[in-house]
Each structure stands twice: as C-alpha cells, then as structure tokens.
Amino acid sequence: MPSTEERPRLGGESGEVVVVGGSAAGLYTAATVASGGRKVRVLESRPDFEPASRSLIVTDQFRTQLGTAASESIVNEIRRFELFTDGRSAQVVLARPDLIIERSRLIPALARSAQRAGAKLSFATRFLGLAPNGRGLRVEVDSAGQREELHADSVVGADGASSRVARSAGWPPVETVPLVQAIVRLPKDHPPDTTRVWFVPDDTPYFYWLIPESSERGALGIIGEEGRDTKKCLSRFLEKRQMEPLEWQGARIPVYRGWVPVRRRIGNGEVYLVGDAAAQVKVSTVGGIVTGLRGALGVGQSILRGGRNKELTALRRELATHWLIRRALHHFQQKDYSQLVDLLNVSTRESLGAINRDESTRLLWNVVCRQPRLVLLGLRGLLMGRSLKD
C-alpha cells in the first residue's frame, strides 16, 4: 500500500464518514459508502492491514457478497459435515460447499477494494471518543502517539465486540462468550473436505469442531461460557485424541440476544454500528463474517440513502431465527443430542445439505416439514431453558 495512505493528515472534511475499525465489517462499509460518492476515512489501531493468519469457515453466500475479494481469500472447500454425539454420528453432504477463508488474505483484499472506491485508510490510529460539535461530530484519536481531533458527519463503529464507539455513543455493552481454538495436524482418517462437529453438553452448550484449512492442518475449537473452563475442556479434548496444539487462538465473540439498533443521533451527527460491534453474529454457530458483511452493506446503504433498509430488515430476521435455534439447543442434555442425531433422517439431511445456514428461516422450515418430530424436540429445549431460569 502506498506510504502516503499509511500516514495521512487527519483533520476531517465536511460530509466525511469516519469508520472506526479496519477489519471485515469496517472495510466493507467503507467500500460501500465510498462507492456511493461520500468521503470516507477508516481508522485502524493496528499498524497495518495485515492481520495475523486465521482460517474461518463461511457459507458460499460469502462469494456472492464479495466477488473477487472473496476468491483471493479462499484456501479450501468443505463438502461434508460429520456430526458426533455419544457414539452416534450423522453425515450431511453440502450441495454448495462451505468455504475456508484466510483472514490475512481477506483483510488486505477488502482494504484494496475500499481504497479503489476512494476511501482513505489510516493505520496506527486509535479512536478515543466522540462528542457533538454543532456541525456533526468531533472525533478524538491517538494517531501514532499524538492526540488529534477530526470532524465527521457520521461515525461507524466497526471496532469489534468491545466497541469503544458503542460505549462513547451510549450503547450498552454486548454480551460475549469465549472462543478458543488450537491449530492441529489433521488426523490421518480426516478428509480435508470434511468438517467434524461434536456435541458434548457436559463440556459446553455449544459444540467442538475440527475444520481442515488444508490437507495437513485444521482448527479444532470450542465455544464455551467461561474462559478458563473452555480452554481446559479443549486441552482435555485434544489430549484424549492425542492431538498436539501447534498454535492457540482465541477471543471473545458477541452473543446475539436481540437486535441491536444500528443508528443513534448524537447532536447533529449520526453514529452507526456494524459487525461484532452490533452483535451481528449467528448465535447458533457463532459465525460473524457473512452476517457482519450484511450489516455493513445495510448500514452503508442507509448512510447513502437514509430510510428503512431491506438488507437490515432481512438480517434482523435471520439473526432472530438463529437466536431461536440457540435457545432450543442451549439446554439440551446428552439424551436430547442423541435423539437429534437419530432424527436426522435422509430427507432432513438433504435439506441441511441443500440450504445453507445463512438462509436459516428457509432451512428451518424445510427441516421441520421433513421431520416434524424435531419441532417437539426443539420445543422441549425451549421449555427446558425456561424452567431452568424460573
């Protein structure tokens, strides 16, 4: 990237949109808004747009969303899921393969798209706070150790789960859960096009996964509820399977528990949230890339056109369905998971393979039409959750 882009003079111009956070959601928002002709500046606290490597699994909707930038980051394709619980297993063959993408390729590709659209990117620039300033918003930043102020009409918080923009503008904090994963050598019996998922309710209300990033390596991970316990469970799981962690990765992931309104008016300015900052994460599987990009597109369009936005309405519906699925599964005991795997008959597995989890309402409808007993199991899960809270 040109060095002039790395250390631009701050200051801010009239009508400028400042995006805080130069990761997936922020850079996609910047590209969308800049393509519509608005001045956009992205502030990123890291020293460059080349983050540490991390493999992520996404549905093929990602390809539709990003086109060329998507192709540059794909490192593997997943054609099959194998689900395990208590000695039982089921297999789901995907009609449209899931994609394994490499974040260290995705972020630079998105940064280039945002720059091509006209956005200016500022590295080593940390957002500190914002306040109304009559014309719009005064944004305070630390730019390579120097305090500076700039002006913006709109600020977009794309600064992740513990968003400082959200806090500065008065949004309540989003709840988070720990995600821990170890990079491991892929076991000899593990095909590189297959993701394995284990339901072990004694360890976690979520699940374990092993996602191959190549024919040699994969990411074995768990989402838990308490950080230290989650790491201990993963260590035990690895030990039982005699797998050596080559590298550890982890962070806190937002838990979607209801729509976070994405826009607030502060004085004469507007503040928006996108991606993890707005908990735009599928809480059934805790995947946030595709949904965060949808949030970014919706907010980008709202900034350009105003009014109600169809993308955000559809995203809200999507996230609500995942929240319903999570509530149904969250208090499942071993016998419920065993029953769930037993109930996945051929036609149910066909639906799971044909419709991806980013079209969850259609998926849920198709699955329950083909196996109505799943509705009873789901309802029991919902009631169990309620009775445990009472």
Ligand X SMILES: Cc1cc2nc3c(=O)[nH]c(=O)nc-3n(C[C@H](O)[C@H](O)[C@H](O)COP(=O)(O)OP(=O)(O)OC[C@H]3O[C@@H](n4cnc5c(N)ncnc54)[C@H](O)[C@@H]3O)c2cc1C
Query: Which parts of this chain interact with ligand X (CB under 6 A)?
Result: 20-26, 43-46, 54, 56-58, 126-127, 158-160, 164, 179, 181, 249-251, 253, 275-276, 281, 287-289, 292
Nearest-approach distance from CB 370 to ligand X, in angstroms: 26
304-316 in b/e form (b: 16+ CB < 10 A) is eeeeebebbeebb
Nearest-approach distance from CB 171 to ligand X, in angstroms: 14
Nearest-approach distance from CB 383 to ligand X, in angstroms: 30
Nearest-approach distance from CB 127 to ligand X, in angstroms: 4
54 vs 135, which CB is nearer to ligand X? 54
Dig out the tokens for 235 from the structure: 């260590």
118 vs 250, which CB is nearer to ligand X? 250
56 vs 374, which CB is nearer to ligand X? 56
119 vs 374, which CB is nearer to ligand X? 119
How far is CA 297 from its chain centroid?
A: 14
20 vs 262, which CB is nearer to ligand X? 20
74 vs 374, which CB is nearer to ligand X? 74
- Cα separation of 295 and 292, whole Å? 5
162 vs 361, which CB is nearer to ligand X? 162
Nearest-approach distance from CB 110 to ligand X, in angstroms: 9
Nearest-approach distance from CB 158 to ligand X, in angstroms: 5
- Cα separation of 349 and 370, whole Å? 9
157 vs 378, which CB is nearer to ligand X? 157
- Cα separation of 27 and 138, whole Å? 21
Nearest-approach distance from CB 347 to ligand X, in angstroms: 28
Nearest-approach distance from CB 188 to ligand X, in angstroms: 24
63 vs 88, which CB is nearer to ligand X? 63
Nearest-approach distance from CB 26 to ligand X, in angstroms: 5
Nearest-approach distance from CB 236 to ligand X, in angstroms: 19
Sign, CA torsion 236/241/246/247: negative
320 vs 368, which CB is nearer to ligand X? 320
Q: With helix as H, strand as E and coil as C, how does the chain read?
A: CCHHHHCCCCCCCCCCEEEECCCHHHHHHHHHHHHCCCCEEEECCCCCCCCCCCEEEECCHHHHHHCHHHHHHEEEEEEEEEEEECCEEEEEEEEEEEEEEEHHHHHHHHHHHHHHCCCEEECCEEEEEEEECCCCEEEEEEECCEEEEEEECEEEECCCCCCHHHHHCCCCCCCEEEEEEEEEECCCCCCCCEEEEECCCCCCCCCEEEEECCCCEEEEEEECCCHHHHHHHHHHHHHHCCCCCCEEEEEEEECCCCCCCCEEEECCEEEEECHHHHCCCECCCCECHHHHHHHHHHHHHHHHHCCCCHHHHHHHHHHHHHHHHHHHHCCCCHHHHHHHHHHCCHHHHHHHHHCCCCCHHHHHHHHHHHCCHHHHHHHHHHHHHHHHHC
